[in-house]
Amino acid sequence: MDALNARLEKLMHIMSKERAQRLATKETLRQNQACLNATAGQQKPAPASKPMCLPNHKPSMRPMAPLPRCLLDWPPCCHLPRAIPHRRQKSGVCRLVYEGLHSNLVPAVPGQSLQRASVITTASGAEVALRYLCQIGTVLAYTQDFNQHTRTVGWADTLLMSLYQNGLKENIQLVMVMSNVEFDSLQSMQAMAQKAQTIEGIQRDC
């Protein structure tokens, strides 16, 4: 009888020990889960977003503004609208390409002054050409022609062109380059814009 009682006590001790171990294991698991939940609940601070813009290497020019989201989301292969919109109604790539080119219609030859009538006539012709380009062209095709043109006139070796050819998306690159290029004359700007109308992929039947 004493032996049976001793055996029962031993079994009870073993069972209570196992129960204590199970409770300790459950508590450990609960604490670990609580730590995981707390870690998951803590949101890491978002890194500061860097503007999609190039450094301004020309102190005489105004700083480059960050590119808007509408440009980042614009598919580079999309055709631009066929109707010529009012300038205030331009949006996305079409507006930025137009304004980037239009803002650089400057006679940059030192010591050479152009007659007022010549400047107005040439600038008007370039503006018409650019509007026509925005009407029927695609940004991708115009970018290809711009690459070819820059190699011809020697811009391809500049730091800006290196960033342009190896950096961001084509529709973003084009606007940044156009905002930094200073054409040597209004005539060269007009010739480039008009040439872009006739390259393969730009001219389309109505």
Q: Which of 23-32, 140-149, 167-176 has the lowest mean pLDDT?
A: 167-176
Q: What is the mean pLDDT of residues 57-80?
A: 43
> Which residues have a Cβ under 8 Å from the Cβ of 139 and sit 6 or more positions away?
74, 76, 78, 80, 93, 97, 170, 171, 174
Residue 152 has pLDDT above 50, yes or no: yes
Residue pointed to by tokens 């650089």: 104
pLDDT for the residue 38: 76
Q: Measuring CA to CA, which residue among 183, 187, 41 is closest to residue 114?
A: 187
- The pTM (predicted TM-score) of the whole model is 0.21
**Strand (E) positions, the chain?**
none
Residue pointed to by tokens 């030192």: 110
